[in-house]
Amino acid sequence: MVTRRRFLQWGAASVVIAGAGSLMTTWDDPPHPAQFPPPDGGWQILQPQQQAFWLALAPAVLHPLWPASMPRQHVERFLHQLDGVLANLAHEQQESLNLLLQALRKRLFRHVIAGVSHPWQEATRQEVEAFLQDWRHSSLTHLRAGYQGLKTVILAAWYADKQTWPHIGYPGPPHLKK
């Protein structure tokens, strides 16, 4: 039989758990304005608040290909290519990636699972590299899959840009004769 004391303890514990859960789900970073406006046709899938995340990851994944001071037009072109890659993912992949990005916007989750305690736009390349390496070598399958997915999207966006091909000695696809 449940005693009054036990009932009150459960009630108090429930309030604490609900409050903590509510805090975790709403503890987003303050809104950060998009650094780069959408192209003329708008973004297909890239959300403005995701730019800081992708622009924090790209230099770490693409090091040393991503220069320390990337010209603005190159960053815009990268984001446009990234938007195209994201738009061409399967619907299930888009949903999974969106859930991951939403979680990594939450300060507490980002700090615990990625080791980055401040907003992505303030993260150093070394912090992001450490986060990626932790996920790459994690014993948790989901973190390893997250690492592979993030890295693949960034590499696909980078190498989809024809202007990156000469830097790796790729002449481009062969031209077919008609």
pLDDT in tens, 48-67: 888 999 999 999 999 888 88
Statement: residue 20 has pLDDT above 70: no
Statement: residue 167 has pLDDT above 60: yes
Distance in Å from the first CA to the final CA of the chain: 85
Average pLDDT in the 101-110 region?
Answer: 90
Q: Can you give the pLDDT at residue 65?
A: 87
Higher pLDDT among residues 39 and 28, named by residue: 39
Question: Comparing C-alpha atoms, which of 56, 50, 54 is closest to residue 33?
Answer: 50
Q: Considering the chain, what percentage of its residues have pLDDT values greater than 70?
A: 80
Statement: residue 14 has pLDDT above 60: no
CB 47 within 8 Å of CB 33: no
Q: Can you give the pLDDT at residue 84?
A: 94
169/178 Cα distance (integer angstroms): 26
Q: Can you give the pLDDT at residue 40?
A: 72
Q: Can you give the pLDDT at residue 12?
A: 56
Statement: residue 30 has pLDDT above 90: no
3-class SS letters over the chain: CCCHHHHHHHHHHHHHHHHHHHHHHHCECCCCCCCCCCCCCCCCCCCHHHHHHHHHHHHHHHCCCCCCCCCHHHHHHHHHHHHHHHHCCCHHHHHHHHHHHHHHCEHHHHHHHHCCCCCHHHCCHHHHHHHHHHHHCCCCHHHHHHHHHHHHHHHHHHHCCHHHHHHHCCCCCCCCCC
The label of the residue with tokens 């693409």 reads 62
